[in-house]
Amino acid sequence: MDGNLKPAHSGTVVFASGAMPPERPLDMPTQDVRLVQQQIAHAGQSTWITWPARALSTLGTLGITGYGIWEMVSIAGFGNMTVLQGVMIFFFAVTLGWIAFAASSAVAGFVLPTPRAPEAPLGESRTALLMPVYNEEPTHTTAALQAMAEALDEAGAARYFEIVIVSDSTSANAWIAETMAIDRLRRALNGVMPVRYRRRWHNTGRKVGNVEEFIKRWGGHYDYMVVLDADSLMSAATLVSLVKRMQADPELALLQTVPTLIGQQSLFARLQQFASCVFGNVIARGVAGWSGDDGNYWGHNALVRVSAFAQACGLPQLPGRKPFGGHVLSHDFIEAAFLRRAGWKVRMAPDLQGSWEQGPPSLVDMAIRDRRWAQGNLQHLKLLRARGLTWTSRKHLAIGIMSYLSSPLWLLLILVGFALTLQARLIRPEYFSHSFQLFPNWPVFDSERMVSLFVFSMAVLLAPKTLGFVRSLFTARIRRGSGGSIGLTASMVFELVLSALYAPIMILIQTQHVFDILTGGDSDWTAQRREAAALSWRDAWHLHWKHTFVGIVIAAVAWLLSPTLLAWLSPAVLGLMLAVPLSRSSGSVRLGRWLRYVSVFRTPEESAPDAMIRRRNELVAATAPLPKDGLHHLARDSAARVAHLAGNLQRPRDARGHPQSQRLTAESKVAQAQSLREALDWLSGAERIEVAADALLLERLAKLPD
C-alpha cells in the first residue's frame, strides 16, 4: 500500500488534497466487443453443483414448455389450425418458456445445496468500501458507512478497509451537504478508518464513468472494492467473509451477494421486502447453482478484484444514437460477462446473510427506476453477439432482455386471445372446405383440456413463490420473524392478491417503456427517491387514467364477447380498473404500518433487526438535519467553509483561452450583489456550483450582509 498513508488503526491518517490519497493509476483499456480477448486468467472448473443445476433448469424448462405446446396444439386441433391460432401458440410458448425457466431454476435452488466456499486470511489486503452517489441525501449514506466501519473495528478488521465516496452530484446543495456529512463522518471515525471523498466535475458515463475514473486515478491503492449503492448496508461478518473467499481463490474476480430489502414502511415497499425475504433466496440459490463460475453482477453489494476489473471492464460506447447507442446503462451484466470472457471467475454467494438494500417506496418510484433499467437491458441486444462471451453470460443478458420484453409479449397474448374469441363469435365456421367432401370439418376446441392447461400454467407461475414459502416455513429465523406460521401464511395470501393486482399495471407500464425505447426515447438520469411520499389523488389520476381506461375497455369487450372470458381475465381487469387507488395506496406509510401491526408482511429484519441496522437507524435519528441552503450556510459558518474546501479536490482548470461562462457570470453577480440574499437569488444552479468550488468567491459571499 501507499507509503504516504499511515495505517487506519494508528490514530492518525495523513490525507492529500480532498481527502484522497496520492494518485496511483491503473490502466483500464476499452474493450472491443468484436474481437476475442486474450485471456488474462485461466479459471478452473465450476463446482460439482453447477452441472446438475444446469441440467435441472434446462430440462425442466424444455419439458414444461414442450408439454404446454403439445396441449395447446391438441386443444386447437393441428389439422384445422388457423393462422391466428398459430400466432397464439407462438406467444404462449414464449411466455410459458419464460415462467418455466424461473420455476425450474427455483426447483434447482430448493433441492440442491450451496457448496461451502474456502476462505483464507486477510493478509495484507486493502479493500475500498466504494460508494458512488448522485444528488443523494447524505445522512443515511454516511450513517450506513459509519455503522459498517464501527462493526469492522469491533471485529478487528478495520485496518483492511477504507471508505471511498465518489460523487457525481450536480446540485450545489447536495454537494455541500455531502461534504458536511462526510466531514462529520471523518471526525467520528478518526483513528478507526480512513474516509476518502471525491466529487467529479464532469459526469461522463454516469455511474460507469464515475467508478472508472476512480480506478484509473486511485485504483492501484486497493486490492479489492466492495461496490455499494447509496442505500446499501453490509455486516462486518459478510464483508470479511467476502474478502477471505477472494483471498483463497486468486482466479476469482467478482463475488456477488444477494441483498435483502429493508428499511421502508410503505405498503408497496413492505410487500417487496416480504417477497425478497421469503422468495428471493430460493431463486438466487438456483441462479447461483446453474451459473457456477459464470455468475452475474447486480452493480452493488459485491466484492470486486480491482486489477481484474481494470483489465477487463473498460466499457466501450455503443455505436449508433440513443437509446441503443452511447454509454452502457446496465453496465453490471456486461462487466460480469467481460470478466468471464477474460478468464476470471464470477460467482454468487447466496449463503451469506447480512447484505441489505432499500427498494422503491411506491409503484411510481418502481416505474421510474424501471424505465432506466429497461433501456439498459434492451441495449444488451447489441451485445448478445459479442465475441468470446460464454453461453451462460449470454444467458444472463437474455434474461435481462426478456424481463422487459415479457410484458409486451403477455399483452400480445391477451390481444390474440381476444381476436380468437371475436373470430369464434362473429365468423361462421366452414364445415365443407372441398367440393366433394363427404364429412364436415367440425370445429375443434377441448374446453376441459384448456382449463387443465390453465391450472398447469398457474402452478408453474407460482412455483418459485410456493417453494420459497415452504422453505421459509421450515426456516426458524424467517418463520418466527414473519409472525409465525399463521403470520407467514397470511402474508403469503396477501402477497399473492396484491401482486396479482399490481402485475397488470406493471405490464402496461413496462410495455410503454419498451415502446418508448423502440421509438427512440432516451432515459433521464435522475436521483432515486428513497423515502415514501404520499401521492395525491390528482397525481395518481394523471399517471394512471390510461390504465384505468384500458381496464374498463377490456372488461366491456370481454363481457360482450363472453362472460366466461371476463371471469378468466377478472384479476387483470380489476387491477387495471383500480390502478389509481392501488398506486396511491402503494406509498402509504400508514397502511404499511397497520399491516405490520396485524403481522402481515413482517420480516426478520423488522421483528429482530440486526445490530448493524439498529446502529444505522440510531445514527440517522441522532444526526442534526443539514441546512437546506448550502451556500448560505457556508457563507455564515467559517468552519463549515474551511471543511468544505479542504474536503474536496481543487476545481480542474479551464482550457487556456476558454474560461467557463458560469464562473465569470457567478463572479460578476457576487461582485454586484449588495446582500447575501440578493446574491443567492441571482445565482443559477450552475453558478452556485462554481461559487461552492471557489475559495475566493466564497469569501466574498461571506462578507455580504444579510
pLDDT tens, 493-538?
A: 999 999 999 999 999 999 999 999 998 887 766 666 767 677 889 9
Tell me the pLDDT tens digit for each residue of 121-162.
999 999 999 999 999 999 999 999 999 999 999 999 999 999
Task: State the residue range of the domain holding 696.
Answer: 630-652+661-703
- In a domain, residue 11? The reply is no
pLDDT confidence band for 68 (50 / 70 / 90): very high
- Tell me the CA distances in angstroms from 139 to 184, 483, 617, 622, 627, one per residue in order: 10, 31, 10, 10, 12
Query: Is 315 within 8 Å of 30 (Cβ atoms)?
Result: yes
- Tell me the CA distances in angstroms from 36 to 81, 250, 294, 333, 386, one per residue in order: 46, 23, 17, 18, 9
- In the three-class reduction of DSSP (H, G, I as helix; E, B as strand; rest coil), residue 318 is classed as strand
- In the three-class reduction of DSSP (H, G, I as helix; E, B as strand; rest coil), residue 165 is classed as strand
pLDDT confidence band for 419 (50 / 70 / 90): confident
Q: Which long-range contacts (CB under 8 A, 24 or more apart) does 13-18 make?
A: 13/190, 13/194, 15/194, 15/196, 17/649, 17/650, 18/197, 18/198, 18/646, 18/647, 18/648, 18/649, 18/650
Tell me the pLDDT tens digit for each residue of 590-617.
999 999 989 999 999 998 899 999 999 9
Determine the Cα–Cα distance for residues 487 and 479; give it in Å rounded to an integer: 8
Determine the Cα–Cα distance for residues 641 and 627; give it in Å rounded to an integer: 13
Residues 236-260: what's their mean pLDDT? 97
Q: Specify the pLDDT at position 45.
A: 62
For residue 9, is pLDDT > 60? no
How many percent of the chain have pLDDT more than 90? 70
Residues 4-14: what's their mean pLDDT? 36
| Radius of gyration (C-alpha) of the chain in whole angstroms | 28
What is residue 353's DSSP assignment? -
Q: Specify the pLDDT at position 5.
A: 37
Q: Specify the pLDDT at position 629.
A: 93
Determine the Cα–Cα distance for residues 461 and 455; give it in Å rounded to an integer: 10
For residue 238, is pLDDT > 50? yes
- In a domain, residue 698? The reply is yes
Determine the Cα–Cα distance for residues 685 and 550; give it in Å rounded to an integer: 41
CA–centroid distance for 622 within its chain: 29
- Sheet harboring 260-261: ordered strands across? 233-234, 355-357, 260-261
pLDDT confidence band for 16 (50 / 70 / 90): very low
> What is the domain count for the chain?
1
Label residue 83 exposed, middle or buried (CB < 10 Å: 0-12, 13-18, 19+). exposed
How many percent of the chain have pLDDT more than 70? 91
Q: Which helix (H) or strand (E) holds 198?
A: strand 195-199
Average pLDDT of every residue of the chain: 89
- In a domain, residue 687? The reply is yes
Determine the Cα–Cα distance for residues 675 and 688; give it in Å rounded to an integer: 16
Answer yes or no: pTM beyond 0.85. yes
Residues 370-394: what's their mean pLDDT? 92
- In a domain, residue 696? The reply is yes
- In a domain, residue 339? The reply is no
For residue 556, is pLDDT > 70? yes
pLDDT confidence band for 294 (50 / 70 / 90): very high
- In a domain, residue 639? The reply is yes
Nearest-CA neighbor of 306 among 33, 8, 28?
Answer: 28
- In a domain, residue 534? The reply is no
Residues 79-92: what's their mean pLDDT? 83
- In a domain, residue 688? The reply is yes
Determine the Cα–Cα distance for residues 569 and 557; give it in Å rounded to an integer: 11
For residue 62, is pLDDT > 70? yes
